[in-house]
Amino acid sequence: MMLKVARVARFLGLPQHSQQLCSANFGGSARQVGLPSGVFGARTHRAAVAATATRGAAFFPEVPEVPAPTLEVQGGAPFPVRRVYCVAKNYAAHTIEMGGDPKTDPPCFFSKPSDAACQVSSLPYPPLTNNLHHEIEQIVAIGKGGSNISESEALSHVWGYGVGVDLTRRDIQAEAKEKSKPWDMAKGFDFSAPMSVLVPSDKVANPLKGEIGLKVNGETVQCGDLSLYTWSIPETIACLSTYVELCPGDLIMMGTPDGVGPVKPGDTVEGWIDGIATLKFEVK
């Protein structure tokens, strides 16, 4: 069947000026726009290529450049962040204060967006919450990837360590729990994982033991020890690597001791891990 080129051009969704060009140059059949020979023929392939390029330009705008998240490193180049994994209920006392049973609850993992990891002196109070909570946590930065990593080899996959805060919209989390919905919007919002500089593992004397704590407006509200994890760093890496392949650039937030509580605009938050790092930020 012979279709006018302008009609075919309209069918292809070409801009008006391209339809007119095709019609003026080839006012014959659909074969002349270079469609496959099994359909209408391909006598004027060059015209079809030009027309298709015009159509492609209209539908494929320039791809935006998006910078990859990075974290500052003590004495080195920035650390690229690939994924952020979090361990829930990894201190017995915190598990109890959140209504769980540390004797029976297995490791529970969730994720934050990679750009939630940030190093800032101030951050905005997030929208849609009236109950923003702090959770101080150790950061484990992965430098060597792998799956089904053994506990004995786990620490050899660690590039370095830091300290961070898992900010949580607790009211949204509570509602999600009640309705058996995911926690994404409770945990994965903008600036929800402020972190310290990362310290290479060879600069950390003992990443498995040391005081971890958090102050709000100068008052200590959380204090624990890295040795009190329900699941140690080697156990956590071994378990998590059975679910996913860990890769360089992955971060693991190891869980928080008890004492989690609210922060509000105007509060100053300070966190630390003895022998590793400190951080400080204001909630705006």
Tens place of pLDDT per residue across the chain (284 aa): 444 445 544 555 555 544 444 444 444 444 444 444 444 444 455 555 555 555 555 678 999 999 999 999 999 999 999 999 999 889 877 677 777 776 666 788 999 999 999 999 999 999 999 999 999 999 999 999 999 999 999 999 999 999 999 999 999 999 999 999 999 999 999 999 999 999 999 999 999 999 999 999 999 999 999 999 999 999 999 999 999 999 999 999 999 999 999 999 999 999 999 999 999 999 99
Neighbours of 184 (CB within 10 A): 14
DSSP conformation class of 124: P
Nearest alpha carbon to residue 139 among 68, 193, 88: 193
Asked if 95 and 231 count as a contact pair (C-beta separation under 8 A), the reply is: no
> Nearest 5°: CA angle at 145, between 143 and 146?
150
CA distances from 30 to 51, 66, 186 (A): 13, 41, 56
Asked if 250 and 284 count as a contact pair (C-beta separation under 8 A), the reply is: no
Give the Cα separation of 15 and 72 in Å (integer): 48
Nearest alpha carbon to residue 246 among 257, 256, 233, 259: 233
Q: Where are the beta strands (DSSP E) in the chain?
A: 70-73, 76-80, 83-88, 108-112, 117-118, 122-123, 132-134, 136-142, 158-165, 168-169, 193-194, 199-200, 211-216, 219-225, 250-253, 261-263, 268-273, 277-283
Give the Cα separation of 279 and 272 in Å (integer): 6
Residue 193 is predicted with a pLDDT of: 98
Nearest alpha carbon to residue 259 among 212, 226, 190: 212
In degrees and rounded to multiples of 5, residue 46 shows phi and psi of: -60, -40
CA distances from 77 to 67, 72, 73, 104, 114 (A): 16, 7, 6, 42, 18
Residue 60 is predicted with a pLDDT of: 82
Residue 36 is predicted with a pLDDT of: 47
User: CA neighbours within 13 Å on the CB side: how many for 99?
Assistant: 3
